[in-house]
A and B are shown apart, each in its own frame.
Chain A
Amino acid sequence: MKAASSRAAGLWLALLVSLLVVVPLVCGRAAVTSFFTQAVIISLLAMSYNMLMGQTGMLSFGHAVYSGLGAYCTIHFLNRFTADGLGVGIFLLPLVGAAAGAFFGLVLGFVSTRRSGIAFAMITLGISEMLVHLSLMMPGWSGGESGITTDRMLYEPILGFDLGSDLQAYYYILAWALAAVALQFAVTRTPLGSLANAVRDNPERVMFIGFNPQKIRLFVMVLSGMFAGIGGSLTAVSYEIVTSETLGLGQSGMLLIAAYLGGAGFFLGPVFGAFVYVLFLSVVASLTHAWLLYFGLLFVLVVLFSPAGLLPMLKAVPGYGPRQRLRAAVAALMAAAAVQFIERLYAYLEGRAAGSAPALADAAPAMAAALAVFLVLAVALRRTAGSGRQPAAGAREAA
């Protein structure tokens, strides 16, 4: 059974990788390439974050510090030597970010990993805020809010490769991200990876099997900082700009949300979460101004109803009985009614803010109808809850 499930995981992985390789090439549209570039980078960053949260049980609010500093160091390095000056070395540029991330992981982690749990979370929060302000006080180095820019292009192409097009940059980024994720997977299979899981489950017991949990936390912090630094380098290569905002809490929170949303308990959970986030950021955002509200709602719903994340929820779907399928359909209809309500409300509020003053009476009936449908469905879902739960639990155990 174990072999079968790992074979299935292998197939999914192969499918995912081939999609990542083929789709941007076949589509050839700038929007698709940019979507994939962003999703791949955020996937890698969220995965590096999950080494802390999902694998070692360390809730950090300052992970963007490592990716941001990795990006800064990469851009400074690139500006100092220029793309053409680096030549073939441009292929190794993310090593600069890796070194920076690991270095700062060691230095800052030396302080933060002395504590665990809430104290650790608070220290990471403090370090993050401190570095954002420090970077604003050093505009010469950080470029402040407007950031510093660079030029990744090789004016003397190497075998036709010049990093000029976004598609070339995408494959550069994809290759590095895949290599980094493969390495991260290898780390989970080492003694240290196993001990990290032990620290996540029960740091106290780790001390009584001969290991120092603080040291394990520090080592994992260095590694996750290194991978975040690689992600930061890829951000620098992709956008050719880095601002002090990239060090901050907003960016860190986004990584936390992506990792949690996808499923922190699963190796590839953060990748899934990152793709959902970028889907909202690009596609949903182009459809509605309320996209961030929807994303927030989605996150809250996942935390409430599927705390293990979206990935395990989707995995459970094929095992659903007829009753659960019906309940899922009702939940989907509820979501549609909620969207209807929110969109009408947004349209009305935006119209009022713009001064066109639409009558509330025009919007009210549709909003009331959507709300009524939502409430009726909610009651229906609640009524069917008791009997629907039992087979679900049974099915999960059988699987």
Chain B
Amino acid sequence: MTQPILSLRQVQKSFGPTRIISDVTLDVQPGECVALIGPNGAGKSTLFNMVSGRFPPSGGDILLRGESLLALTPFEINRKGLSRSFQITNIFHRMTVYENVRASVLWSLGYRYSLVRFIARLKDARERAEQVMEEVGLQKRRDVPAGQLSYAEQRSLEIAMTVAGDPAVVLLDEPTAGMSRSESEAAVELIRRIARGRTLMMVEHDMSVVFGLADRIAVLAGGVLIACGAPDEVRRNAQVKEAYLGEKYAGGE
């Protein structure tokens, strides 16, 4: 078996006396697409926040290619090739679509905080930004301020910024939340494209998206990982049905 690219070892999180995550252990293999599902409040976003460095776990360890991420800041983790998107759209709203994407490719191309060259003349940054905009279908909206995009377009921009730096591991936090059926189908196609050659982990509520994309599904309920396996396996799991799917299907989704 190959070394997992991302590995969570008995990760715990408590806010004060409240335990949010208990001993979550999960290995993600290179190239895999893992969907993280679970009822609201199960701790999915909290887990993402710990992996991406937004806040540290209270216990356990998180490893990227065998290297601990615990002491690293979000930007250091990003530079190591792990990039994330946000559930609530998190973009540079006064900058244009192009400027948003271009800013997101800068570090990976090695430009750092440069002051000695004009950004418009960075050919590789322009080409990479244009390629990414093409990939997510935003090239026609290139010069529109990001704050003026439609909701679905902002979600696409969110994904564009996440993959702009060509990360090896991508975390997507509810990429299709709030989308219509057709928008959501387009988003699935987009996610499938960006997943090529990358390791993907995503939190998603829409079961058609989850079963359409995931190689493995991890189910989190009450901060505990209650199941993890192939989609069919998880679908048959009685505990999961009770904790999550049953409730969801009973809700008429």
Contacts and interface: CB of A to CB of B under 8 A. Distances in A.
A190 B112 CA distance: 11
Interface residues of B, number: 39
Given A205-B92, A208-B84, A194 B99 contact: yes
A262 to B, nearest CB: 18
B113 interface: yes
Contacts of B79: 210
Given A191-B106, A193-B119, A211 B99 contact: no
Interface in A125-180: none
A195 B78 contact: no
B71 to A, nearest CB: 15
B93 interface: yes
A190 B118 contact: yes
Interface stretch (A212-220, A286-294, A350-358): A212-220
Contact of A191 (B52, B91, B117): B117
A195 B106 contact: yes
B92 A197 contact: yes
A76 interface: no
A194 B113 contact: no
A209 interface: yes
B83 A192 contact: no
The 8 closest A-B pairs by CB, nearest first: A210-B107, A201-B92, A207-B74, A210-B78, A209-B104, A191-B114, A207-B75, A192-B115
Contact of B116 (A2, A190, A204): A190
A20 interface: no
Contact of A211 (B86, B107, B162): B107
A383 interface: no
A384 interface: no
Contacts of B120: 189
A314 to B, nearest CB: 21
Q: Most chain-B CB neighbours within 10 Å: which of A187, A211, A219, A265? A: A211
Nearest to A190: B115
Contact of B74 (A2, A198, A202, A208): A208
Given A192-B114, A202-B93, A208-B84, 8 more contacts: A2-B143, A192-B115, A195-B106, A197-B99, A198-B103, A201-B94, A207-B75, A209-B75
Interface in A203-259: 204-212, 215-216, 219, 223
A201 B103 CA distance: 12
A209 B113 contact: no
Contacts of A186: 118
A202 B92 contact: yes
Contacts of B104: 209
A215 B95 CA distance: 20
A84 B146 CA distance: 56
12 contacts: A190-B118, A190-B119, A192-B113, A192-B114, A195-B103, A197-B99, A207-B75, A209-B75, A211-B75, A211-B106, A215-B113, A223-B115
A200 interface: yes
Q: Most chain-A CB neighbours within 10 Å: which of B52, B74, B143? A: B74
A200 B146 CA distance: 14
A301 B79 CA distance: 46
Contact of B113 (A200, A202, A216, A265): A216
Contacts of A198: 92, 95, 100, 103
A219 B43 CA distance: 37
B223 interface: no
B122 interface: yes
Contacts of A190: 114-119
Contact of A205 (B73, B90, B102, B116): B90
A192 B112 CA distance: 8
Contacts of B99: 194, 197
Nearest to A219: B113
B48 to A, nearest CB: 11
Contacts of A212: 73, 75
B175 interface: no
Interface string A311-343: 000000000000000000000000000000000
Interface string B64-102: 000000000111001100011010001111110001101
Interface in B11-28: none
B115 A219 contact: yes
Contacts of A206: 75
B83 A208 contact: yes
Contacts of B161: 205, 209
A191 B73 contact: no
Interface in B120-172: 120, 122, 143, 161-162, 164-165
B237 interface: no
A215 B74 CA distance: 14
Contacts of B115: 187, 190-192, 219, 223
Given A207-B75, A208-B75, A215-B113, A194 B91 contact: no
Contacts of B75: 206-212
A208 B103 contact: no
Contacts of B116: 190
A236 B83 CA distance: 50
Contacts of A201: 91-95
Contacts of A189: 118-120
B143 to A, nearest CB: 7
A265 B147 CA distance: 15
A53 to B, nearest CB: 14
Given A2-B143, A190-B119, A194-B99, A207 B113 contact: no
Nearest to B94: A201
A213 to B, nearest CB: 8
